[in-house]
Structure 1
Amino acid sequence: MSDILVTGLKIGESARWHDGRLWLSNWGTHDILAVDADGSTEVMARVPVTIPFCFDWLPDGTLLVAAGPSGRVLRQEPDGSLVDFADVGGGLNEIVVDGRGNVYVNGGTDFHPDEGEAPGYIALVTSDGAVRKVADGLAFPNGMAVTADGSTLIVAESFAGLLTAFDIEPDGGLANRRVWAKAMADGIVLDAEGAVWTPCMTADGKPVCVRVAEGGELLATVPLDRFGFACTLGGEDGRTLFMLSAEWRMDEGFEQNIERLTTGPETGIVSTWQAPAPHAGHP
């Protein structure tokens, strides 16, 4: 049984454990929040968009924010302000930084399955702000994670029902694209046993957070009472699973749901559950 840690969010996204606290994007507001063990929150950054925006940190602790609609990656200055770091172009969705400082962002979520299109991509941003595309042809790229040894990047292709893996090359490029597991996935996190946690829906339409092994074996399922958007592992021993969810009506379109969630009732919550293995990798 999961426990509720935070209520009153619009849409919680981009869950990360950092500096002893849970951090998240509160979509529908401009806020990146840090959450203490008692559920109290602190605004850590104000972002110039309301949806979508995600974030991660460079190895030196500098906060980077992917401001989705503008296609820009922003860097937080010591005074808390956000300045341009890179202009990627197009709508961005997720960001992850590996242990060497390679910054990966994905976008291209304007997906039309009836037209056979998969315009999603992953771009690499280097420390000087240079941008190059390192993968394309993705069906709605979503959460990303890098293994602890820095050798592999895994991305959720939400509209293909796949977790897709790439080898990370010495120059930060991606190669050897392959199916890591057949699984519906959104925001993802890796654990120390090499499994991926992700929120998804069961075949009969119930929201859950699942633990999936490479190859697709389902290792654990945690029920949710509303639609899940992201999750991460953290806490003192790295085994607390933080799950971010909000009401989502499957009979409504995407735009209608976003409008209702960002302007209507604050249904977003953070719930927790004790996982069998601790966090590993990035983010």
Structure 2
Amino acid sequence: MNLQDLHLLVDDLAYPECPRWHEGKLWFSDMLGRRVYAVEVNSDSTEGVCSTEVEWQADVAGLGWDNDGQLMVVSAPENTVLKLQDGKLQPFADLSALSQGECNDMIVKNGVAYVGHFNGKLSPQEVQPSGLIKIDTEGNVSIALEGVMFPNGMVFSADGKRLIFAESFGRCLSQVDVAEDGSLSNKRPFADLGTAVPDGICIDAEGAVWVTDPLGKRVIRVLEGGEVTDSIDMQTMGAFACELGGSDGKTLFICAADGFGKIALNGPDTGKIYACNVNVPAQGC
């Protein structure tokens, strides 16, 4: 499959990231546009109506929802997780004492959030190991995992007992065990990705992980152990994040842009979200 086989769902974005399928809509952060959007998608995921949900004063990244259904948003340069309360984003958890650089993606389950952060510049030669920060339901923060080479996209296994995450400059997917108290342990490989630099990921009902590879300009489906079963050639576009959703869970949404990160600020808005049909639905469908 290649770019010509995909449906263009949303256009004219600065830098779309961190998509989530939530309550029948596709939510995502336009990181450099400093907004969170939700897209009402038609039945075959070929068209969508995009609406602004919230705006913020700084770049926004990872998204999630607490046990009360309140939206949570990572403010990347402020190293803060925000929560939507009374129609406004309010600071919920300050990660600055534990983060070694900008915060990035986030995943939330049962009200507990995990946030990645990177230590250094966006270069394999300059990034040092960092890790994941845990935020409990009251907003208390702690270091959940160390020794990660630029943590990025994260997903849970179907039983919630494993957390799988991308190590961008480790060129791999790793996994850890999740205890009942939310602590993480036993870090080990999920898949060696060779030359790929993984960014955002999502997981399907067979436990395979879709991985965006922005430098390789592709999206791949990977089994535990590293076998690649499917590949989407994005040609001129960098793919930065992906999510499974749609009416039957078989739509793969891909966040893409011509530029990489803040480089995108130097030119016109090239961010787009594409959609395509896949054979295996999202986990839980």
Structure 1 length as normaliser, TM-score? 0.89
Match of 1:8 in 2: 12
CA distance in 1, matches of 2:125, 2:271: 32
Is 2:52 the counterpart of 1:43? yes
Contact residue 180 and residue 215 of structure 1 kept, 8 A: yes
CA distance in 2, matches of 1:148, 1:164: 16
SS of 1:262 mapped into structure 2: helix
Is 2:98 the counterpart of 1:87? no
Residues 114 and 268 of structure 1: CA distance in aligned 2, closer, same or farther (over 3 Å): closer
Residues 260 and 170 of structure 1: CA distance in aligned 2, closer, same or farther (over 3 Å): closer
After TM superposition, list the pairs within 5 Å mapping 1:102-141 onto structure 2. Answer: 102-110=112-120, 113-114=124-125, 118-141=128-151
SS of 2:16 mapped into structure 1: strand
Match of 1:101 in 2: 111
Amino acid at match of 2:63: F
Post-superposition CA distance 1:213-264 (Å, at most 9, x none): 000000101121300010000000011000010003xxxxxxxx54441352
Amino acid at match of 1:4: L
Q: Of 240, 243, 249, which residue of structure 2 is paired with 1:229?
A: 240
CA distance in 2, matches of 1:114, 1:267: 28
Post-superposition CA distance 1:21-40 (Å, at most 9, x none): 11111122121001122322
CA distance in 2, matches of 1:258, 1:149: 33
Amino acid at match of 1:194: G
CA distance in 2, matches of 1:236, 1:107: 33
Match of 1:268 in 2: 271
CA distance in 1, matches of 2:111, 2:216: 38
SS of 1:75 mapped into structure 2: strand
SS of 2:77 mapped into structure 1: helix
Aligned-pair distance for 1:44? 0.7
Amino acid at match of 2:105: E
| Identity across matched positions, percent | 36
Match of 2:219 in 1: 209
Q: Of 206, 209, 223, which residue of structure 2 is paired with 1:193?
A: 206
Match of 1:62 in 2: 70
Amino acid at match of 2:268: P
Is 2:193 the counterpart of 1:173? no
Aligned-pair distance for 1:114? 4.2
CA distance in 2, matches of 1:114, 1:232: 29
Match of 1:251 in 2: none
CA distance in 1, matches of 2:216, 2:141: 39
Aligned-pair distance for 1:120? 1.5
SS of 2:264 mapped into structure 1: helix
Match of 1:149 in 2: 159
CA distance in 2, matches of 1:234, 1:4: 16
Contact residue 66 and residue 72 of structure 1 kept, 8 A: yes
> Which consecutive aligned stretches of 4+ in structure 1 deviate over 3 angstroms post-superposition?
111-115, 257-260
Contact residue 110 and residue 140 of structure 1 kept, 8 A: no
SS of 1:33 mapped into structure 2: strand
Amino acid at match of 2:40: D
Contact residue 122 and residue 134 of structure 1 kept, 8 A: yes
CA distance in 2, matches of 1:206, 1:127: 38
Aligned-pair distance for 1:108? 2.4
Contact residue 62 and residue 107 of structure 2 kept, 8 A: no
CA distance in 2, matches of 1:265, 1:272: 22
Residues 80 and 137 of structure 1: CA distance in aligned 2, closer, same or farther (over 3 Å): same
Aligned-pair distance for 1:48? 2.2
Amino acid at match of 1:143: G
Contact residue 109 and residue 141 of structure 1 kept, 8 A: no
Q: Which runs of 5+ in 1 are unaligned?
A: 249-256
